[in-house]
């Protein structure tokens, strides 16, 4: 017998719910969505974003007692290797924390709470898309309720694709006036 507490592996239905929760977290992460929308991962950017969900789910499935910093490192490596993107806007710890949280809830069998997180994230994603479609994403930068919201996407990423668009704000500063840190595409 081992001395430490070991959680039983997630059942297949719980693992599916965890995957759904990870997908919801990643789909509401502005940095990843900008990378996908601008093709930072090449022609298969959307498929790479989907693949990240599987990689994260497998990482949790194969490792016990993962720390948030380990999850941050994995996501950072995936963004760097697959999307040629360094995440410097401070959102990476939040994303890793949310993924760790939903995994812990799945482990504890608190599936109703996991579904509630997914529902909230889905609402946020829908609201963010509606706001972007109406052109309101630059006018309301000051009313972010949470850093994961999609408001202010423009200054949070700097890449060749984004620089070519007409944006009156300077994109060469590491820190923007509104407090957003620029995420620079690796050269």
Q: What is the DSSP string of 61-90?
A: HH-SS--HHHHHHHHHHHHHHHH-B---SS
d(CA 153, CA 96): 20
What is the distance between the alpha carbons of residues 133 and 155, in angstroms, rounded to a whole number? 18
> What is the per-residue pLDDT across 93-125, written as a single tens digit (0 to 9) for each?
999 999 999 999 999 999 999 999 999 998 887
Residue with tokens 């990843």: 32
Q: Average pLDDT over the chain, rounded to whole?
A: 76
Could you read off the pLDDT of 128-177 as tens digits, one per residue? 666 666 655 444 444 444 444 444 344 344 443 333 333 434 444 444 44
Q: How far, CA to CA in Å, does 123 sit from each of 9, 65, 127?
A: 30, 31, 6
The model's pLDDT over 14-67, given as tens digits with 9 standing for 90+, comes to: 999 999 999 999 999 999 999 999 999 999 999 999 999 999 999 999 998 899
Say what the pLDDT of residue 11 is: 83
* CB distance 89 to 183 below 8 Å: yes
149: helix, strand or coil: coil
Structure tokens at 91: 């959102």
**Token duo for residue 38:** 């601008």
Beta-carbon contacts of 146 under 8 Å, excluding residues fewer than 6 positions away, are none
- For the residues 73-79, what does the mean pLDDT come to? 96
Kindly list the domain boundaries of the chain, sorted by start residue: 12-136
Burial class, 84, CB count within 10 angstroms (exposed 0-12 / middle 13-18 / buried 19+): middle
Q: Taking the CA atoms of 158, 164, 166 and 170 in sequence, report the sign of the dihedral they define.
A: positive
Q: Encoding tokens for residue 74?
A: 């994995």
């Amino acid at each position: 017998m081992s001395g430490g507490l070991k959680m039983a592996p997630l059942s297949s239905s719980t693992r599916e719910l965890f995957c759904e929760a990870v997908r919801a977290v990643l789909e509401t992460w502005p940095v990843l969505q900008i990378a996908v929308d601008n093709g930072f991962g090449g022609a298969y950017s959307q498929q790479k974003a989907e693949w990240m969900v599987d990689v994260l789910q497998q990482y949790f499935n194969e490792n016990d007692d993962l720390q948030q910093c380990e999850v941050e490192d994995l996501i950072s490596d995936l963004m760097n290797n697959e999307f040629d993107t360094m995440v410097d806007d401070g959102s990476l710890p939040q994303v890793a924390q949310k993924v760790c949280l939903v995994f812990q809830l799945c482990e504890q069998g608190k599936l109703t709470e996991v579904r509630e997180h997914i529902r909230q994230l889905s609402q946020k994603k829908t609201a963010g898309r509606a706001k972007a479609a109406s052109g309101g994403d630059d006018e309301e930068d000051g009313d972010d309720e949470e850093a994961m919201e999609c408001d202010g996407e423009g200054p949070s990423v700097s890449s060749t694709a984004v620089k070519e668009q007409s944006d009156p704000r300077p994109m060469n500063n590491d820190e923007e006036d509104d407090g957003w840190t620029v995420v620079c595409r690796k050269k």
